[in-house]
């Protein structure tokens, strides 16, 4: 089988390629990535010489390049996106371009090339927010209510993917998953940012009151979930994937990281809140368990401890990432 992976040099895409080449070594992978600030080919050093792996630098908005790169492909797994909410508040236009227009270009390319499956990787943020201190969770029937330019652009892309299924019969599947964490995450997202800041003896910036809740999914559990959707998922269907956390807020996550790194709680700094900050996310992944047999392999605490160890062992990787453009972004977002 030949897979066309978009955004394969980013956090989840590169973890997916490493996972897939280990578990399905007979398959071929084409990694199509623009290499924005978030794309990093160092994540893929382990596989770069594998004859079943190839890389094409390209923009998913580039119609001709997408059409020709997709020739002979069986399955598309679409990760490429502008993915960071705070950047979407600073500059929404690239989010609309890549996440909406880019997805539509890929869908056309998939139709022209008779792709057997187009899998779209989406987010729980399309469903909006849940109230604190409630038992409500998002599931596949939740209504769409995106509240940031990022989540609005992802919602639009989900609608386009479903439209191509209903109108043109393109064989699609979608996953809407919660916050990922693990190796190779760009340190703009809170867990990678917090761990690396604390190792550098800097503070963890916590937005607002810190009582915002996220549902945490380890990236390898996510990759296994996509594998199971590709293998057993029904065409036209959506599957929600989430973690094993029970309403843990950002402040608690920060404290867990500080404990794992042997640092005091003074390493937390409360900073200006994010505009339109979604209060709480929680995912009900019963359908994925029932229909695919999927569930996370370990608890949040176990995966977090492994993640902290990875960042302790791979300082060269993130120190390089945290230089250059990252410093400008950090200053713009957090001040001095």
Nearest to 154 by CA among 105, 83, 208: 83
Dist. CA 140–CA 289, nearest whole Å:
13
150 is catalytic: yes
**Partner from ligand DAU, ligand NAD, none binding residue 281, C-beta < 5-8 Å depending on class:** ligand DAU
Under the binding rule (CB under 6 A), the answer on residue 83 touching ligand DAU is yes
Cβ 56 to ligand NAD shortest distance, Å: 10
Under the binding rule (CB under 6 A), the answer on residue 218 touching ligand DAU is no
**Partner from ligand NAD, ligand DAU, none binding residue 104, C-beta < 5-8 Å depending on class:** none
Catalytic member of 82, 125, 215, 278:
125
Q: Note whether 6 and 13 are within 8 A (CB).
A: yes
Angle at which helices 190-199 and 250-260 cross, to 10°: 40
Give the interface segment with ligand DAU, choosing from 92-100, 164-172, 199-207, 324-332 (CB under 6 A). 199-207
The radius of gyration of the chain's CA atoms, rounded to the nearest angstrom, is 19
**From 117, 137, 147, 154, residue interacting with ligand NAD (rule: CB under 6 A):** 154
Under the binding rule (CB under 6 A), the answer on residue 20 touching ligand DAU is no
Q: Note whether 155 and 210 are within 8 A (CB).
A: no
Instruction: List the x/- string, 86-105, binding to ligand NAD by CB under 6 A.
Output: ------------x---x---
124 is catalytic: yes
**From 33, 59, 124, 227, residue interacting with ligand DAU (rule: CB under 6 A):** 124
Under the binding rule (CB under 6 A), the answer on residue 239 touching ligand NAD is no
**From 34, 87, 256, 322, residue interacting with ligand NAD (rule: CB under 6 A):** 34
Under the binding rule (CB under 6 A), the answer on residue 106 touching ligand NAD is no
Please compute, for residue 219, the number of CA atoms within 13 A of its CA located in the half-sphere on the CB side.
Answer: 22
Q: Which is nearer to ligand DAU, 124 or 227 (CB)?
A: 124
Residue at shortest CB range from ligand NAD: 10
DSSP string covering 228-260, please? HHHHHPPTT-EEEE--S--SEEHHHHHHHHHHH
DSSP string covering 108-161, please? HHHHHTT-SEEEEEEEGGGG--B-TT----B-TTPPP---SHHHHHHHHHHHHH
**From 19, 144, 207, 329, residue interacting with ligand DAU (rule: CB under 6 A):** 207
Which letter, b or e, does each residue of 198-219 get, where b requires 16 or more Cβ atoms within 10 Å of its Cβ?
bbeeebbbbeeebebbbbbbbb
Nearest to 65 by CA among 94, 33, 41: 33
Under the binding rule (CB under 6 A), the answer on residue 18 touching ligand NAD is no
What H or E segment, with its residue span, contains residue 48?
Answer: none
Dist. CA 11–CA 37, nearest whole Å:
12
Give the interface segment with ligand DAU, choosing from 13-21, 202-210, 220-228, 285-293 (CB under 6 A). 202-210
Q: Note whether 249 and 207 are within 8 A (CB).
A: no
**From 32, 281, 303, 317, residue interacting with ligand DAU (rule: CB under 6 A):** 281
Q: Which residues are catalytic?
A: 124-125, 150
The contact set with ligand DAU (CB under 6 A) reads 83-85, 123-125, 178-179, 189-190, 193, 205-207, 212, 214, 250, 274, 281
The contact set with ligand NAD (CB under 6 A) reads 6-7, 9-13, 33-36, 38-39, 59-61, 79-83, 98, 102, 121, 123, 154, 177, 179-180, 186
């Amino acid at each position: 089988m030949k897979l066309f992976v978009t955004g394969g040099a980013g956090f989840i895409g590169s973890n997916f390629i490493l996972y897939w080449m280990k578990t399905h070594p007979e398959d071929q992978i084409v990694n199509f990535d623009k290499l924005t600030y978030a794309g990093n080919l160092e994540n893929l050093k382990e596989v770069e010489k594998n004859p079943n792996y190839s890389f094409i630098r390209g923009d998913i908005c580039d119609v001709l390049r997408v059409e020709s790169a997709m020739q002979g492909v069986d399955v598309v797994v679409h990760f490429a996106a502008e993915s960071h909410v705070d950047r979407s508040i600073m500059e929404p236009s690239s989010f609309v371009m890549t996440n909406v227009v880019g997805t539509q270009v890929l869908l056309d390319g998939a139709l022209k090339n008779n792709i057997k499956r187009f899998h779209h990787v989406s987010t729980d943020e399309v469903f909006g927010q849940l109230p604190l201190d409630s038992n409500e969770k998002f599931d596949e029937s939740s209504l769409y209510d995106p509240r940031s330019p990022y989540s609005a652009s992802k919602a639009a892309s989900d609608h386009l993917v479903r439209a191509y299924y209903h109108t043109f019969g393109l064989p699609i599947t979608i996953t809407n998953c919660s916050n990922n964490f693990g190796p190779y995450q760009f340190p703009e997202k809170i867990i990678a940012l917090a761990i690396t800041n604390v190792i550098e003896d800097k503070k963890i910036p916590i937005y607002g009151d810190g009582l915002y809740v996220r549902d945490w999914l380890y990236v390898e559990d996510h990759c296994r979930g996509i594998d199971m959707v590709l293998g057993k998922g029904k065409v036209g269907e959506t599957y929600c994937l989430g973690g094993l956390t029970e309403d843990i807020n950002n402040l608690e996550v920060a404290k867990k990281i500080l404990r794992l790194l042997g640092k005091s709680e003074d390493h937390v700094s409360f900073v200006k809140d994010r505009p339109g900050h979604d209060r709480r996310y929680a995912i009900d992944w019963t359908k994925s368990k029932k229909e695919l047999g999927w569930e996370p392999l370990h608890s949040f605490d176990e995966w977090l401890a492994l993640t902290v160890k990875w960042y302790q062992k791979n300082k060269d990787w993130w120190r390089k990432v945290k230089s250059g453009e990252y410093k400008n972004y950090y200053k713009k977002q957090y001040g001095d």
